[in-house]
Structure 1
Amino acid sequence: MTIDTAQDPPAGPRRSIELDSEEALRLLGSVSFGRIVFTRHALPTVRPVNHVLDNGDIVIRTHEGAALTARAGQAGGQGVVVAYEADAIDPGTHVGWSVVVTGYAHLVTDSQELARYQALLNPWVHRTMDYAVRIRPDLIAGVRLIAGDESDGA
């Protein structure tokens, strides 16, 4: 959005309320789209992806040749450190929520698990997605953005 096309901000201030981990993961599981952040050539890289939440883990599908597939595959048993962000913020009122999860990403190598994720998670891009990456959350942070006059019980 440029200054020329910017909308007037909503009336009144917004407040942010921290979410506990359980609520943050519940909200993350309520949407299917987010952004994965990982390191590529020593720089942060962000990719929009769709996901499924499975027993507290975030799972995305990838393809051969994808930077994340290569990074997670090279990391061996350790995995690669990533961040995952998802949100639902109304563009008109600027209220909603945002969740950021940091953890280790691993390629899913078990063929039965991979088949299960391929059935559960349909890629939203037209590309063969033969791989899946599982993110195990270590740090979970979330905020709810509310109008300044709403109570904390929102």
Structure 2
Amino acid sequence: MNPRRFEELTREESLRRLGSVSVGRIVFTHQALPAVRPVNHLVDNGAIVLRTHPGAALLSAVDSVVAYEADAISEDDHIGWSVVITGVARRLRGASEIERYERLLRPWVPDEMEYVIRIHPELVTGFSLIEDNEALPHGAAP
């Protein structure tokens, strides 16, 4: 196995990578307990946008601090990245914004997704696990 190292990502690179995938996990409090749900998302102007349906546990996260995580990690060599953002989940209510996100963000489940939630990232942490070619002995091929 080749040597590896963690590399911290900038805020901009973290958000770019988050925007390169369509599914992540939201972490929130539901009935006083931690809850995690996989959801599809988009990154728009630096914010994470989700859609959900009436009755979803995720609605208990509105106006609360949440974490959102997405990653892309190879099953073969475990090379990849992970990004975690923390911020307050807000429900959007403006008709034009809701219509815009209904066009841009297609649900991956067949429910009626009439609620749009935006998370403005206050904290952004991203790491990439990469091959460390500099750690190889001189002249060795990766």
TM-score by length of 1: 0.83
Confirm whether residue 55 of structure 1 aligns to residue 45 of structure 2: yes
Aligned to 1:139: 123
| 2:71 alignment partner AA | D
Deviation at 1:69, TM superposition (A): 1.6
| 2:7 alignment partner AA | I
CA distance in 1, matches of 2:34, 2:55: 18
CA distance in 2, matches of 1:25, 1:71: 21
Deviation at 1:43, TM superposition (A): 1.4
Aligned to 1:25: 15
Q: Verify the 8 A CA contact 2:39 2:50 in the aligned structure 1.
A: yes
CA distance in 1, matches of 2:128, 2:64: 28
Deviation at 1:150, TM superposition (A): 5.6
| 1:54 alignment partner AA | D
Cα gap change, 1:41 to 1:146, in 2 (>3 Å): same
After superposition, the C-alpha distances for 1:92-123 in whole angstroms (9 at most, x for unaligned) are 01001100000000001111101110110000
Aligned counterpart for 1:46 among listed residues 29, 36, 39:
36
Deviation at 1:148, TM superposition (A): 3.5
RMSD of the TM alignment (CA)? 1.3
The unaligned stretches of length 5 or more in structure 1 are 1-10, 73-78
Aligned to 2:133: 149
CA distance in 2, matches of 1:68, 1:106: 11
CA distance in 2, matches of 1:132, 1:69: 10
Cα gap change, 1:27 to 1:45, in 2 (>3 Å): same
User: SS in structure 1 opposite 2:96?
Assistant: helix
Aligned counterpart for 1:89 among listed residues 48, 62, 73:
73
Query: What is the count of residue pairs matched by the alignment?
Result: 135
Q: Percent identity?
A: 57
Cα gap change, 1:47 to 1:22, in 2 (>3 Å): same
After superposition, the C-alpha distances for 1:44-90 in whole angstroms (9 at most, x for unaligned) are 10000000111000000001001122441xxxxxx210000010000
Aligned to 1:4: none
